[in-house]
Structure 1
Amino acid sequence: MPLFAGVYAWLGDPRAATVCLLALTGVAASAFLARQPDRIPHARNTLAASVFLLLLSLVWLVGGIASPSVAWLSVCPMVAAAGGSRDRGLRWVAASVLAMLAVYLYERWIGLPAVLVRDLPLLYLVGNTCFILLVALFLVRYERNNDLALARLSEAMATIQRMATLDDLTGLCNRRELLRVLEAERERAERYQLPLSVCVLDIDSFKRVNDTFGHAVGDEVLRHVADTVQALARTTDCFGRYGGEEFLLVLGNTDLPGATELAERVRVAVMNSRAPGPGRPAVTLSIGVARHVHGEPIQRVIEVADRALYTAKSEGRNQVRTGGASVA
């Protein structure tokens, strides 16, 4: 606005220059309102109205419908719609069209003030150049905002995906993701005639850990066990928290002896380790191992491994059991 005030004054129209400077009061008012979050919609309306009245005055003073300011009326809907309100932008479109119609009719029937600008072609050059630059700036800002919105959407989707598939406490796969992976492994095993085994792991006497040391220490123990087992699992295995202090290890392309051997290494590693920090209790695991039988539902192998786990519990804990046969 100060730029165009100077241009109009230089081209011999002090009236248009004064209008440009007066419009700055509306811009200042909108900036003041924008500092208060609850008044941001009022700030947008004030800014759009200030720009609209400025442009309508310039159209009135400098050529009517033939004025270079006519194209600038599209700025009002752009300002209004920039706040995310399509309806508000459409209302300003309607207001601009009606205003142009009113100026045209008034010019035809009554007549407008005489144009004082000495060089209208130069005014058109300056005005149209600035308008093109403004549109370019608006498009760049729009694309930037669009890219930021897409980036935030991608982050939100990734967060939702993590929440849907990972356990908050341990960072392992959660029950839903474990069952999804297990079903996918079952389909692969049956399609290519590959072995598939499952280990169900349970921390022994975990309730006593919570009751004696508190739930915060219990959480540390859960994370420690999760990290210890995860370090021994292969990259092709899927290890996750099945619920409470119970974990599930899905071993694709692994027969029962191989799964049992890995389960024993896991049991020994946990028994010989301790969660970091003073006063952390030593814990042990009971593990049940089962092999999937082709043609049976996937829940069946979990039930078999669960029964083997309870056998290990009933026979003294800190053991691996496979179909009821002792391994440790």
Structure 2
Amino acid sequence: MRITILGSAAGGGFPQWNCNCRNCAGVRRGSVRAKARTQSSIFVQGDAGLDGVLFNASPDILEQIRSSPTLQPGRAIRDTAIAGVVLMDGQVDHATGLFMLRERGRPLPLWCTDPVHEDLTTGNPVLKVLGHYCGVDRQRIGLEGAAFEVPGAEHLSLRAFPLSSKAAPYSPHRDNPVPGDNIGMLISDRRSGRSAFYAPGLGEITPALFDLMCGADVVMVDGTFWTDDEMIGLGLSKKTARDIGHLPQSGAGGMMEWLDRLPNATRRFLIHINNTNPILDEDSPERAELARRGIVPCEDGMTIEL
């Protein structure tokens, strides 16, 4: 199984177009050693060269395809290696890239939960708009953990699990979350049995979820904020990381504590990294702390072989 990190940043990317925080301003003028990142998305194949599954359709998807030849194999006059799209939530930074796939020529195979389908046909009617172009062949993701497959994505088996986080701001249940607003995904190679757990939006880790993470060879989870009050401290928000559905890396009960408890052989990655997060600065003490703990911040273009 091969995972390609197409985008590793949170909404707005890095540097964010209108942001002059230390990270964004520093990377523009070259005073902060950091890599630019597009908004989070991954592409998973059973093997290099095979068609695969696009997890989340970032608004940056066209740039990501141009930067990742594996998604455009060029076998015919119109071609793609994207066998289907799986949405982990209905957020703008994970769903509006679907608009950019409208020239497909036939209905786009799309897997999402019922709450996400509701949000993307009402509050942000992306799927209705696509009906005037290629159309969408929507498949329902259940929340009971049953395995499913995306036709054309050989060797991959998927299992979805509801997570504690937040629905998109335009969702009718933004402040009253329902199961299926956000999911984590266990992605397995049916041949080898090796697996990756993927959860770019994660507000709380329960004992059952942690047991699931312990059984995966790779864990790729929410890396949005370093501290719970990160946005408050910068004067950018009145809400904490947890208020908006993201478990911060540091502090009591933070993501690092949980990742430290995983089996030693588990490979640990952070994705969906906000532009304000100090781990983007490769010379920061926060980045050094991650390295000491064996936690890797994802970068655009990174590949993970299982």
TM-score category by the smaller chain?
A: under 0.3
TM-score normalised over the length of structure 2: 0.23
Q: Give the greater-gyration-radius structure (CA).
A: 1
Structure-1-length-normalised TM-score: 0.22
Higher relative contact order (CA 8 A, sep 6+): 2
